[in-house]
Chain A
Amino acid sequence: MSVAPSLPHPLLRPMAHVRAQFQRWWQARLPLTDIFTLTQRNVYILPTRPGLMLGVTLLVLLVASINYQLNLGYLLTFLLAGCSLVAMQVCHATLRGLTMHLIAPYPVFTGATAIIGINLENRRQSTRFGIGLALLGSDHWSWTDVPAQANATVHVAFKPERRGLHRVPALTAETHFPLGTFRVWTVWRPAAQVLVYPAPEPHAPALPLGEPRAGDAAAAPGPGSGDYDGIRAYRRGDPLKLVVWKKAARANELVSRDTQQVQRHELWLEPQKTGLSQPEQQLSRLCAWVLQAEQQGLDYGLRLGGLEIKPAHGEAQKRRCLQALALC
C-alpha cells in the first residue's frame, strides 16, 4: 500500500531503518476508526526549534538577571516563562477534545486525485485556531479554524497509485498555535476505504458490436431492417445510415432514427473483445468502454472471469461495472 513505503536499508542507514520500523509498529497499533476523538492518550506534544530557541533565550535572560541583579529582569524572565507554559497548555488544548469525522470518500479513477473530507467538531465554548490536516508524511497542509461549538470541514487530497479498494491513508492533524513554540499533533488511521477504478484508456477504440439476443436470434431481422419507432437526437456512435438527413438539413441538428434494431443486439463487454493481452490494459479499455456505452445511452453488460453483469443502463449499472473492474 502506498502508506507503507519500503524500509531504508538496515546496514546503510541503520538509524533511519529503526525509526521507520518503530513508526510502522506504532501506526499498526493505532485503532482504525472513522470518528476520532482526541484525548490525552492520542495527542502528542514536543517543542519546536523556535521553542528550543525560546528556552535558550529564557536561560540567557535569567543569567543576565542574576549577573546584573536585575529584579525587573527576573520578572520579565518569569513572566515569559509563565506565558510559555500557558502556551504549551493552550497548544495541547487546541487539539485535545476535538472530534474528527471522516466523510466517506467518493470512488475515483486511478491517477485522479481522491478528496477526503474531514469534519472537525468543536464542542468547546471557544474557537480552536490554526489546525492543519495532512496525509501522514506529506507536506501539504490544509489549515482551518474551528469556531466555538461548531463544525469545520477540511479537504485533504491523495492520489491512489493502483486500482482496487484502498484504505484511506493515515492522516495527521497538527497545530502550532498560539506561539509556535510547541508542535502538537496526532496520527489517525481512518477505517474508511476508497474504491479506485482502473484508469480509462485515453483514446479507446469504438465499442464492440453487439451479440444477437440469446433465444431471440432466429427471429431477429438483419441489421438495418428494423422497424423505426421514431426519431431521437443524435448520439455519438450512431451509424451514419441511421441519421435522418432530410430532417437534419431543416433542423440544423443531427437526428437519428430510433430503432429496435440495437435493442435486439446485446452489448457485452469482455476482456477478450479488447484485443489486448495485458490484463490491466484490458481493464483500462473495458473501463473506457463502460463510460462510452453509458454516455451513448446503450444497454451494456460485463463479463469478467466468472462474474456476469446483465445488460442494463444507468448510473447504478455504471457503478456496478466499474466496481467489478476495480476489484477483479
Chain B
Amino acid sequence: MLNPLHHLRLLPRDSRDTLFMLLVIAWVVLPQVSHLPLWCSLLSGAVMLWRGWLAVTLRPLPSRWWLWLLLVLTVGATLFTHKTLLGRDAGLTLIVVLLALKTLELRARRDAFVVFFLSFFMMLSNFFFSQSLLTAGAMLIALLGLLTALVNAHMPVGKPPLLQAARIAGSMTLLGAPIMVLLFLLFPRLAPLWGVPSDAMSGRSGLSATMQVGNIASLALDDSIAMRIRFEGAPPRQSDLYFRGPVLSSFDGRSWQPLRSGLPAQLRPLPHLQVQGAPVNYQVTLEPNQRPWLLLLDATPNAPLLTGFEARMTPELQWLVERPITDLLRYTARSYPDFSHGPLRPVAGLQDYLELPIGFNPRTLQLAAEMRRDPRYAADDGTQLIAAVLQRLRSGGYVYTLEPGVYGRDSADEFWFDRKEGFCEHIASSFVILLRALKLPARVVTGYQGGEQNPVDGFWTVRQSDAHAWAEVWLNGRGWVRVDPTAAVAPGRVGSLQRLQAPRGVITEALLGNVSPALALNLRAVWDAVNNRWNQSVLNYTQRTQLNLLKDLGFESPSWEDLIYLLIGIVVLASLGGAAWTLWERLRQDPWLRLLAQAAKRLQKAGVQLAPNSPPRRMAEQLSAQLGPEHPAAQRIGDWLLRLEALRYAPPAAQHSRLPALQREFKRLHWPT
C-alpha cells in the first residue's frame, strides 16, 4: 500500500495543478459559507470533491450536459432562494456556484483565468462582511495561492515544483507592495459613485431597533468590537459609561419599539437637557453598525465633530445621522455625566410612557395594585416605590444569567414570579412594565455600558457583549431619571471591570484551555491593540487623513487634484529612475574585466607592449620578457596576474568573495614606471 502523500507526489502535473486550484478556491469560498444558502455550500463542496476525485483517479471530465443541467438547476435555486439574480447576496451565491462548476471544465488556460477573476470578486465580497486583520491575512494567503496557480500555469516545461511558483508569486507580491502602499495613500478617496444597494447592509450584528426577549442574548455572546474610545484626560467612572442607543417606549406585549405616540410631534415633550459639572472630552472610532446611530455618552448636548454626516439629537437624547453608518467612523464629542432632562412638571405626552397592552402580565398588574394600596406609599412621589422594586430585585432571589431559556407570553409575570432569572433586557423590560403598572412613566433605553481599557495602547474598547438595556423613570420635579435594575440583580454587571465571559468555542477551548487567564487577557490586549492600529491607520484612512498627509508633506491647502499631481510626479520619477537603471545596467562592466583593464593600463604606462584583449597570462609573459624573469616586481605582478586568471575559472561564489582581495592587492603592488 502506497503512502497517500507519496501517491500525491506521483500524480501527473495536470492532476496536481487541479488539486492545488481546488484548494485555493476552497480557501477563498470558505469564509463565505456562513453567508451562503446551505444548498449552495453543499453543492459547491460536493462538486469540488467530485472534481478532486476525478483528478486523483485520472478519470475523464463529465460531459457538458451535466454542466448545463447543474447550471440550470443552480440558477433556478438561486432565483428561488433570493427571489432575484441581481444584488449582492444573489450575486455571491451565483459566483460561488459558477466557480465550483467551472472547475468541472478546467481544460484550457482560459478556464484557469475565469476561475482567477471570479475568485477576486469572491475575495472582495468577503470584505462586505468583515474587514478585520484576520480577513486581510486570509485574503492575502488567497491572493498568493491564486498567483501561484497562475504562475504555475505559465511554466509550460516539465513538472515544476509548486514551491518554485509560490516563491515567484511571493516575490512579485513583495515587489508589488510598495505600489500598493503608494496608491493606497495617494489615490483620491471618492464618495460612492452611485447609491449603495440596501442589501449590503443586512446581516450584521449590532444593537437592534426593537427589543424582543432573547434578542440581546445573541449580542451578549458576540465578542466583536462596537467602538473604541480615547478619553482626553481621566476617563469617567466605569459606572458612568452609558452609551445611549435607541430609546424604546412602546410595548405591545411581545416587543419594545420606539415611541409610537398618538400626539403630533410638535406637542410632544421637549428634551429640556440641562448639564452641569465637568465635561468629558473623547474621541470615538465607531465600527460600522449599519444604522444611523451615533453612540455617545449620556448626556451630549452639542453635536459631535464628524465629517460626511449631519448629526441631530432626538427628543429622547439619542444622536442620529442622516444615513446608515457603513464605514468606520471617527468623531470627537463632549459629554456631561452630570445632567438632567425631561419636563419637570406633568405635561401632555407623558401618558404615552404609561401605556401597557391589555390582557398581558395580569400578575404584575396585580402586584402593582397591591403596592399602590400599601399605605406606606400613599404619599410617595415614586422614589420609594422604585426603591421598593429595586429592593425586591436585590433580595427576592433574582438571578442574572445569560441563559434564562425561552420566555412565554407574559414575560414580566414569568420574570417576577416564576423564573426569577434573566439578563438586562428581561430585567429592564419587567422593571418598566411594573413601574408603568405603578403609574410611573417609564421607558427602556438600550445602548452599551462599560468597556475596558487596553493597557497596551490606552484605548477603551466597547464590545458588542457590552450591549445593555436600562430604564428611565419620570419623576415629578426631577424629569427623567436613569435607573439600572440590572445593577440591583447583579452588581458586578454594571460599573466593574468584570465582563461576562461568553462560553468559549471548542477550538478556543483547545487553544487557550491551558493558558493562564492573565496571559490570555494579555494576549487579547495585544491583539486588540494591533487590531486597533489596523482600524485607525488602514480602515479609517479617509480623504481627510489623505489631505492631512499632504499637509505634512508641505502642501499649503491640499485638494484632491494635488493628490493626482503627486501621484503623477512619483510615476514620472519612478520611470526616470527605471530608465537610469537600464542605462547603468547597459554600461555596467564586469568587475573582473575592469580590474584587468586597469592592470593593462598600468603596464602600458610602464612601456610593456600589449596586444589588445591580452589575457592575464599573456600580460605576465610580456612583463617578464621586458623586465627579465628575475626582476622582483615582474615576479610579484606576474603572480598576481596568474591568480587573477585562476579566479576567472573559479565558481561564481568564490569570484564574488575573492575579487575584493585581488583589488586591494592591485593597489599595494609596486608597478614599474
Contact = CB atoms under 8 A, between A and B. Distances in A.
B183 A180 contact: no
A76 B176 contact: no
Contacts of B136: 72, 75
A312 to B, nearest CB: 43
Given A75-B184, A83-B172, A180-B113, A70 B124 contact: yes
A295 interface: no
Contacts of A144: 157
B326 A177 contact: no
A68 B196 contact: yes
A226 B123 CA distance: 94
Interface in B293-341: 326-328
A63 interface: yes
B139 interface: yes
B120 A57 contact: yes
Contacts of A54: 117
Nearest to A127: B164
A17 to B, nearest CB: 31
A149 to B, nearest CB: 7
Given A61-B124, A68-B196, A149 B180 contact: no
Contacts of B110: 50
Contact of B538 (A69, A71, A129): A71
Interface stretch (A85-93, A204-212, A258-266): A85-93
Interface in B571-593: 582, 586
Given A70-B127, A83-B173, A78 B150 contact: no
Interface in B198-224: 200
A67 B128 contact: no
A74 interface: yes
Contacts of A84: 176
A86 B176 contact: yes
A275 to B, nearest CB: 53
A165 interface: no
A82 B176 CA distance: 4
A134 B128 CA distance: 47
B49 interface: no
Nearest to A48: B113
B308 to A, nearest CB: 10
A18 interface: no
A6 interface: no
A63 B193 CA distance: 8
Contacts of B327: 69
A39 B109 CA distance: 29
A64 B91 CA distance: 13
Nearest to B114: A53
Given A65-B124, A67-B194, A180-B153, A74 B184 contact: yes
B124 A76 contact: yes
A81 interface: yes
B652 A53 contact: no
A68 B192 contact: yes
A66 interface: yes
A46 B540 CA distance: 38
B180 A70 contact: no
Given A66-B192, A80-B120, A75 B156 contact: no
A64 B180 contact: no
Given A87-B172, A180-B113, A130 B128 contact: no
B498 interface: no
Given A73-B124, A85-B176, A86-B175, A78 B154 contact: no
B539 A78 contact: no
Given A53-B117, A83-B176, A180-B113, A72 B131 contact: yes
B135 A72 contact: yes
A176 interface: yes
Contact of A180 (B117, B127, B150): B150
A83 B144 CA distance: 10
Interface of B: 109-110, 113, 117, 120-121, 123-124, 127-128, 131, 135-136, 139, 143, 147, 150-151, 153-158, 160, 168-169, 172-173, 175-180, 183-184, 187, 190, 192-194, 196, 200, 326-328, 538-541, 582, 586, 652
Interface of A: 39-40, 50, 53-54, 57, 60-61, 63-76, 78-87, 90, 129-130, 132, 143-145, 149, 176-180
Per CB-CB distance, the 9 closest pairs between chain A and chain B, nearest first, are A82-B176, A82-B179, A78-B183, A83-B176, A78-B180, A79-B180, A72-B131, A143-B156, A86-B175
30 contacts: A65-B124, A66-B190, A68-B127, A68-B192, A68-B196, A70-B128, A71-B541, A72-B538, A74-B187, A75-B136, A76-B123, A82-B178, A85-B176, A85-B179, A86-B175, A86-B176, A129-B154, A129-B155, A129-B157, A129-B160, A130-B155, A144-B157, A145-B157, A176-B154, A177-B155, A178-B151, A178-B154, A178-B168, A179-B151, A179-B154
Given A57-B117, A68-B128, A76-B124, 5 more contacts: A66-B190, A70-B127, A71-B540, A72-B127, A79-B176
